[in-house]
Amino acid sequence: SLPEPPADQPPVCPRHPDRVAYTTCQRCGRPACPDCQVPAAVGFHCVDCVAQAARTAPEQRTALGAPVRRGRPVVTLALIGICVVAYVLQRTVPGFTDRLAFLPYYGAAEPWRFLTSAFLHAPGQLLHIAFNMVALWMVGPYLEQTLGRARYVTLYLLSAVGGSVGALALATATDGWLTWLVGASGAVFGLFGAVLVVLRRLGRDARGIVGVLVLNGVLGFVLPGISWQAHLGGLVIGAALGAAYAYAPKERRRLVAVLAPVVVGVVLVGVSLAVYASAGFR
């Protein structure tokens, strides 16, 4: 502990012995200079008492057990940043898109494409990346806060892979397997599916998300160049993981947070291997 000043001398701040301090902490009674005072409901507390209270206070958690974080949604911002940087590289580095985009025909030999394609977008269509990033910003911060960063990251990445697996499994091997696939739509639809489940679990109004899903589902069948298969794949995976996270018993949330992504990952790999095997890939 910090030393107390002698009784025959003016009180000084324990942290700054060269400063006279006549204001005392309401909790410990020690003097505190202006730099060591923290306003309280009555008077001031010293920074040491404030730090001790913060260490001993119970950690605040969301309704689904995630630690409450007050800062920026850093994971969502990082995902958006990666997509933006990748888009710039697509426009400036020859062959960048071809090496990372998903083509079902190449997926068996180059499996990283199942994930990397979700961070790419059509180089000549600025609205493509803009729409996906706006959609990600609409729902991402809420899920990041409610689920916590770890569960949110696994949700996003597995939904992205789910979108590619959906395109692989639902497209025809003679036509759709030779169509390049880029975009975060599968991952974003996974977030839509998860937020729909989470909102219903918490008893909140989910009609807005339902409307967005219906609208985008219709557009996937009407507009050319949109892979409804990827949207559906991401949506199914996101809803499944969201349900696992949202409905896990309180005492088993940490276990489910580990097992659910593992199970989903195994299923995605199994489906992909089965589809390739049925098409004659070994």
Q: Provide the annotated active-site residues.
A: 185, 231
Q: What is the 3-state secondary structure (H, E, C) of 1-15?
A: CCCCCCCCCCCECCC
Q: How far apart are CA 237 and CA 171, in angstroms?
A: 17
Closest by CA to 225, choosing from 185, 187, 186, 181, is 181
Which of helix, strand or coil describes residue 179? coil
Q: How far apart are CA 104 and CA 27, in angstroms?
A: 66
Structure tokens at 61: 């958690």
Which residue's structure tokens are 């697509």?
A: 90
Closest by CA to 120, choosing from 134, 106, 136, 132, is 132
Question: How far is C-alpha 68 from the geometric centre of its chain's CA atoms?
Answer: 14
